[in-house]
Every structure is written in structure tokens, then in C-alpha cells.
A and B are shown apart, each in its own frame.
Chain A
């Protein structure tokens, strides 16, 4: 089985799911789906031994060869780790969903199709070596996540959450695409491996920092970092298996993957270290602080996820300092990367199990509101045990894997004292302090989550259902994850050697060649001289006190959030996009033809005038002019008087007759300027036109009937200015173009050959029917169409329905 084929397996199987759902209604569709991730996880597991010894695999499927775009599956320590997480947690989530979703009530076909599409998309993201195919899969995760969040599409909350996550992650995705394109252009390749090879030349380019920031925007929005985390709590409207899978273990870690994957390219920039560490640490504090405020079980977990993702992000940032130092410090900072990957795995285990427990509580009691829950310990002992393991691990208590990674995190933040972040002395001290405070809050909400749900008084009157223990099948997946939490604590170095070290090699290829070189071991006990130990003790002590006094100080949340609410800002932005833009466009889209004509004329005037001005194009020359004769002046005066009459008359009849007069004057001009055919046509047509106007005049209302008193001066003045502008521009352009003729007329040819070639004497007529007969053909068509249209308008009447007359008569 090729690596590319493995990526596309889930989406191909997804094609079969609707048939299975319809044809085999007796068996829960999830059992068929379960085969896919289980098969894939065993497939990827076979790569583990060779990845541990430092080899990598690559497989390519050309997509658009002419543009050099192909699907490239590249397996190294990092992508293998993520692939195993995706398929492993995926198997457990599918198993859990079989018991969580009812096969009769739910549209399982949809659910599993979306889930399998998502699985393909995630595998594609973590294995793609080509930037464009990485982006392709990246957006596929956004879309499938949108579909999964909106799975219960009849609920308002689901639709809102789905739209919000779509908006934010797609915004980030598009920014990221911009970054990718810059990178691709700078490096002249879209392959990540080839870009890593030329990172030092890339870094010298001005656009490098832009590429960095844009790619980071993609990572931050996907991984719910500050201030883009706001979609994650709203995405909790998804079914719980989705929350457990997408929003704790996989999709939100795509951003972390991206940061880790691009570290070898971007870490040479100081901006990278700054942004990744800073945003990560702020997200950590912010998420942990607001998690305590939540009353919904899944919302607590959502904020906790945000905060833990911030923790991993900041560790990746600290780890990238290794690119800026030398000697022993390289190892010191690479340790942060090591801790980041280790915590990433730990987080997937305990957060997955906690989400599943929250789903079980919801499933068995009918509510997720922590204020209504309580005293479930004796009713649901197994769930309680699993929840306790998960929570204590999240809090960082010994005997659980969270303790190990929390200690490593504190150590890593303390290591910043060796290296003040770019002369900002305070940063080196500030980060461990923020980390410590955030850890205290983490401790508080972990206890809050588990004890407020399972201890205290049982309130059956507030629960929609009678609480009882979940079926065994539902407990299997969280049970396995909780077991892993404890197993990892006791044998952390097995995990470290198999998964973490190859991933560290992938992130820090300059430091290490093969995983065996990475010399870190994970120790539960650091000895009494470790500062992290005392920090941890402090966390437990202060955290416990804060937890006990919880009702006393939660009042501060009432004061703060309303002012600092990022959701308010998002809503305002969306509201502006909906209504504000509508208001802006209705400002100028008035529906009145006069406004649009004004815009057009004004635009014409400005464009022409500025062109004339900038090019200094106005030329007036008195050479080669025809002489002015007396009767020409006379005709001109008649023309002007006729036009003025049209403008100022109050009577329609006068206007029409004046128009006729103008037409006949034009015919006179044609006579003077030696154009007999034109004069003839003009006279005939003017006569017919005036007759037509008079015909319309019989039916149309009086010209000024409705205009009396309405047409104010300002209206006329504005029109006059625009009209004057157009007139002046036409005059100026006519004069200058006549004053600088560049080439002689081609009409000499016609004059010479009209008789010898065409056998005619009237040059104009021969041009019309012989030299340029096509024009005449289509001019005839125009007349035909116009007359057919007129006949149609006059004779065709559509049957009128009531309410058809919608034009307002004010």
C-alpha cells in the first residue's frame, strides 16, 4: 500500500458509507467505519522502527505536473507521530461514537462521511511536503470541521458555531496561502524539504517576515490561539465525539504541526521566536483564566484546550531559540521542543478522555450544566475514576503523565534566564511567572471540573434524565486513554524514544541527525535542587486554596469579561459585514438613474480632464482650418437658439418643434459641408422622428406637470455643472485632436478606385454597399430588430396578475 493511497483511503471508503447506512440498517454504520482507522494505525505503526533509526519515506503522486504541483507524502518523525495520533485517537472516537450516536435517530451516514473526509484531510495536512497540497488538505479540514460542527443543523447554536469556526479558520487559511505563495516564489520551490535547505538565503529577503507572519496567522487561527480562540468554545455544539477528536486531539493541533514543521525555515528570524512564544504564553494564561468561569462542561474543556495549546505553542517558541544560540544552550532549548511534543501526546490522551466523559455525563443525565450536576460519584463510579485520572493529569499531579510534561514546561520556561529574549530583560523573568499563574488556574479548573460534576449533592429534580452508569462500550475508549495516562507516567521514556525523539529530529534537523542523538530522558523526580519542584508545590498549594475559596472570588469575572469580550468584537464585525456594508452600498446605490448617470459623467470628466492635464495634451493650432463663412455663423446661431429653446421651454410641443429645428439645421450643415446623402437622410429621418415624438406626445403627460415646485435650484445647478463639464471636455478634446493629426486620411484610395474597381460615381454610396458593405448589413439588422421590438411592445400583453403593479406611485 503506497503512502499516498493510505491518505486517500478514508475518503474513498466514505463513498461507500451512504450505501452501507441505507442497505444495512441493522448494524451500526460505525462498525464498518472503525475498520479504516484501525487498519491505518497498524499500517503506520509498521513505519515506527525505521523512523526510530532515522530514515524517512517519500511517495509522490503528480497532480498538475505542468505547474509542478503534486501530492507528496513525506513521512518523518513528526508526520508519523501526527498520523498515528490521528488514526489512533480516530479509532477510539469511532468506537465511542458507535455507542454515543443512536443508529435510528441520527443521520449516521452523514456523520461518518464527514468524519472520514476529515481523517483524509488531516493525514494529508501532516504528510504533505508540497505547500499547495498542504493548503488543499488544510482547507479540507476546515470544510469537514464546518460540516461536523453543524451536524445537528436544525439547532441555531450549531449553525452559529459552524459558521464562526469556518470564518475564522478560513481567514487564517487564506492568509497562510499568501505566506506559502511568498515562500514558493522566494525559494522557487513549493517543497518544504527543499525550502528548509535554503533557509539562510530566504531569510535575507524582505518578504521573508511577511511569509512568516502570514503562515503564523494560519497556524494561530487553526490552533485557537489568542485572539482567534473564540471559535473553539462555540464549536462545542458539535456531537461530543467530534469535540473529542477534532477539537482536542487533531484539528486544533494542525496549527502546532504547522509551527513545528516550519520551525527549520522560520526559526532563524527573531520575529518567529517572539510571536510563537508570546502568543502561546498569552493564550495559556487567558484560556486557563476564563476556563474557571465556564458553567458548561464542554466549555470548560474548550477553554482548557485553548490554554494547553498555548502552552505547547510557547514551548515550540522557546524551542526555536535553539537556532539562535550555540554550545550547550542548543541542547537546553531543544529540551523545550522535546517537552512540547511530549505534552502534545499527553494532552491528546487526557483531553480526549475528558471530552468523552463530558459526553457520557451529558448522555446519561441530559445536561452539561455544571450548576445542575453533582453527586454522580456513587452513581457513575467508572466515569468518575476516568474523569479523576484525566483531570489530575491535566492539573499536573504526580502519578499521571501531565505531571511530567508540566515539570518539563516549567523547566523550559526557567531556562529562559540563560537567554533574555533579545535584550528584553523582563521577558526572561516574566514568562515563568505567567506560566506559574496559568498553571494555578489550570489546577483550579481541573478540580472544579471533576469535583463539581461528581461530588457534592445529587440534584435529581434538576436533571432531565435519571443518572446511571454508561454502557460498557462507551467507557472503553476513555478507559483506554485513561490507562495510557497512567502508563505514560511510569514508562515515559518508552514514549520519548519511540515518538518524541524522531519528532524532535524533524523539528531541529540542524542539531540532530538521528533520533538516537537526542539525549533527553524524562524523569519524574528531579531532586530537591530543582526549582520546578518548588513551583509545582506552590501551584498545588495556591491552587487548592483558590479552589476552596472559589465562590468568593468568582465575582471578579462579572467585572472583567464584558469589557474584554472578543466575541463582542467578532459579532460587531459580522454585524458590520451584514448590515454595515448594506448600508454603505445603499448610500450610493440609490436606484435613481440620475445618480448613476452623474457618477458616469463625473468619472468621464475626471478621467479625461486629468489625462489632459497630466499629459499636457491640449493643443490648439490654427493651421489647415476651413474658412468661416457668414451663413455658417447664421446656421450656428439658429442651432444654439433651437437648443436653448428646448432647454428652457415649459411646453412639450415647443420642445419637440425646436428639436426638429435643430435636426434641420444639422441637415443644413451637411449641405454646407458637401454631404448630400447625409443631408437627404437627415431631413427624412428628422421628419419621421418629429412625427414619432408628436405621436408619443399625444400619450405622454404634460412635460412640467409633476415638476412644478419640485425641481429645486440645487438639483438644476448640479446637473448644469456636470453638463458644462462634459461639454467643455468634448470641445477641448475635439480641438486638440484636430490640431494634431498624425497620419493622412486613407480616403484617397477610395477616391481613386471608386470607378475603376467598383464601377460607381457616388463615393459614399459605394463605400456603404461595396467597400464596407458589412456595416450596412448589420445596420439593416438593427432597424429590423428595432421594428420587431416595437411591434412586440405594442401588441404583446402578458396577462396581468393582481399585485403585479409594484412600482410605487408616491
Chain B
């Protein structure tokens, strides 16, 4: 399963990078969203997927899933949500102020950087 997940994560990364390299701001933010999904899954996969039970104490169960990656991912999810929300509002404001969401048109040139 870990190998399948690795391939899946690679696919997510590929899609994310492709989107990040495009011109539209919205696509770039979608790309970062995919990138964080890929990263979270990668964290989980690297912790091992063998766990038989959720990491909540229960009598008679010894084979819990690794709780550390889960704690890390929980932190990462919240942070990436904060950043995504911030960049979305930033994109909204940029579009309001500049009138374009095309990254190629937002280049600073020699006269106005």
C-alpha cells in the first residue's frame, strides 16, 4: 500500500507543480492546496500504514497507528489552512487593485519595480 500511496503522492505533486507554474492566480492557489494534500499524505505514509486501531486507548488493543505523524499533520493542516485563506484574500485584493489575475502581467518592469 505504501508504494501505491507514494505513486499517488507523486501524482499529486506533479499536478500541484503544474498548476503553480500557470498564469492564473486562482490556479496557483489551487495548486498550493493540492501540494499540501500531497504533503499531508506523504507524512502519513512515511509513518507507516500498518496500524490496526486508531490511536485512542482501548482495553485489549496494542497495535495502534503511529500517533506522531497524525499530530504533525493536524498542525500542518491548520497552518496550511491559515496560509490558504490569507492568499485567497490576497488574490481577491490584488484583483480589486490591479485589475488582473494574470501573473505574467504582474511583472515589475525596469520603470516600476
Q: Compute how far the CA of A620 lies from the CA of B88 in the bound complex, rounded to whole angstroms.
A: 40
The residue among B14, B25, B57 with the most chain A CB atoms within 10 A of its own CB is B14
Do B85 and A655 have beta carbons less than 8 Å apart? no
Most buried by A among B40, B70, B105: B70
- With contacts A591-B113, A793-B89 taken as known, whether A685 is within 8 angstroms of B81 at the C-beta atoms is yes
Considering only residues 56-113 of chain B, those with a C-beta below 8 Å from chain A are: 56-58, 64-68, 70-71, 73-75, 77-79, 81-86, 88-93, 95-109, 111-113
The answer to whether B30 and A738 have CB atoms under 8 Å apart is no
B98 proximity list for chain A (CB < 8 A): 805, 807, 809
**Cβ contacts A651-694/B at 8 Å (1 or 0 each):** 01001100100110010011001111110011001001100110
- CB distance B6 to A783 under 8 Å? no
Q: Is A46 an interface residue (CB 8 A)?
A: no
Q: Tell me if B19 and A807 are in contact (CB < 8 A).
A: no
Contact with A along B39-55 (1 / 0, CB 8 A): 01110111111111111
Nearest chain B residue, comparing its CB with the CB of A734: B6
The answer on a CB contact under 8 Å between B74 and A681 is yes
Given contacts A646-B19, A723-B15, contact A734 B45 (CB under 8 A): yes
Taking CB as reference atom, which chain B residue is nearest A637?
Answer: B8
User: Are A692 and B7 closer than 8 Å at their CB atoms?
Assistant: no
By secondary structure, the A interface counts as: helix
Q: How far is the CB of A449 from chain B (nearest CB, A)?
A: 50
Indicate if A26 sits at the interface (CB-CB under 8 A). Answer: no
Residue interface bits A712-745, CB-to-B below 8 A is 1, else 0: 0000000110111011111100110110000001
Q: How many residues of B contact A (CB 8 A)?
A: 94
Cβ-defined contact, A807 with B1, below 8 A: no
Stretch with Cβ within 8 A of B (4 or more), from A30-38, A396-404, A771-779: A771-779
Given contacts A768-B71, A809-B100, contact A719 B42 (CB under 8 A): no
Query: Which listed residue (B15, B41, B55, B105) contacts A807, Cβ 8 A?
Result: B105
Q: Name B6-26 residues within 8 Å CB distance of A.
A: 6-26
Would you call A476 an interface residue if the criterion is a C-beta within 8 Å of the partner chain's C-beta atoms? Answer: no
Report whether A809 and B25 are in contact in the complex, using a CB–CB cutoff of 8 Å: no
Q: Looking across the interface, which residue of chain B has its beta carbon closest to that of A769? A: B71
B90 partner, pick from A723, A793, A809, beta carbons under 8 A = A793
* Bound CA–CA A652/B30 (angstroms): 10
CA distance A624 to B37 in the complex (A): 25
Out of A643, A656, A696, A763, which one reaches B64, CB within 8 Å?
A763
B79 x A779 contact (CB < 8 A) = yes
CB-CB under 8 A for A685 and B77, given A701-B101, A806-B112: yes
Query: In the complex, are the beta carbons of B21 and A730 less than 8 A apart?
Result: no
The listed residue (B18, B47, B48, B64) touching A723 by CB distance below 8 A is: B18
How many chain A residues touch B (CB < 8 A): the figure is 105
Q: How far is the CA of A700 from the CA of B29 in the complex (A)?
A: 12
Over the window 613-657 of chain A, the binary record of Cβ atoms lying under 8 Å from chain B Cβ atoms (1 yes, 0 no) is 000000010101111110011001001100110110000100110
Check if A730 sits within 8 Å of B56, measured CB to CB: no
What is the distance, in angstroms, from A781's C-beta to the closest C-beta of chain B?
10
A764 neighbours in B (Cβ, 8 Å): 55, 67, 70-71, 74
Mark interface residues in A114-152 (1 if CB within 8 Å of B CB, else 0): 000000000000000000000000000000000000000
Asked if B86 and A669 make an inter-chain contact with CB atoms under 8 angstroms apart, the answer reads no
> B70 — which chain A residues lie within 8 A by C-beta?
675, 677-678, 764
B40 / chain A contacts, CB cutoff of 8 Å: 666, 678
Contact flag A768-B9 (CB < 8 Å), given A632-B1, A786-B83: no
Some 14 contacts from A to B, beta carbons below 8 A apart, are: A601-B17, A625-B2, A646-B30, A659-B30, A663-B33, A670-B44, A693-B30, A699-B96, A700-B26, A701-B101, A735-B3, A754-B57, A779-B75, A782-B82
Besides A764-B70, A786-B85, 9 new A-B residue pairs in contact (Cβ under 8 A), listed by A number = A626-B50, A640-B11, A643-B34, A652-B26, A669-B44, A675-B44, A689-B85, A727-B11, A738-B6
